[in-house]
Amino acid sequence: MYRIFRSLFLLLILPAMAVPQVGYLSVNSPENTTIYLDSVLIARQPFSDLALLPGKYKLGSDPVNDFSWQRRIQAQEIEIKPFEKTVVDLKKTGSIVIYSDPIGSDVFGGGKYLGKTPLYLGRLAVNGEDFRIKRAGYEEKKFSLAPDQNEYTVKLLPIDPGAEMRVQEALLGGTEVNWFKESLVLTSFVSSWAAFFFKRKADNLYLQYQGAAIPSRIDYFYNETEKYDRYSEVALGVSAVSLGVYLFILMTE
**Residue 102 preceded by cis peptide, ω within 30:** yes
Reduce the DSSP state of residue 119 to 3 states and report it.
strand
At residue 19, φ and ψ (nearest 5 deg) are: -75, 125
Are the CB atoms for 44 and 62 separated by under 8 Å?
A: no
Q: What angle do CA 39, 45, 51 make, to 5 degrees?
A: 65
**pLDDT tens digits for 183-229?**
878 888 888 888 888 888 888 888 887 777 777 777 788 888 888 88
For residue 35, pLDDT over 70 is answered with yes
Question: Residue 67's pLDDT band (boundaries 50, 70, 90)?
Answer: very low
- Of 196, 188, 193, 191, give the one whose Cα is nearest residue 248: 188
State the Cα–Cα distance between residues 231 and 200, nearest whole angstrom. 11
Q: What is the model's pTM?
A: 0.40
* Bridge partner residues of 36 (DSSP): 41, 60
**pLDDT of the residue at 97:** 82
Q: Right CATH number for 2-93 from 1.10.10, 3.40.50, 2.60.40, 3.30.40?
A: 2.60.40
**pLDDT tens digits for 87-130?**
988 766 667 788 888 888 999 887 788 888 888 777 666 666 68
| First-residue to last-residue Cα distance in the chain | 119
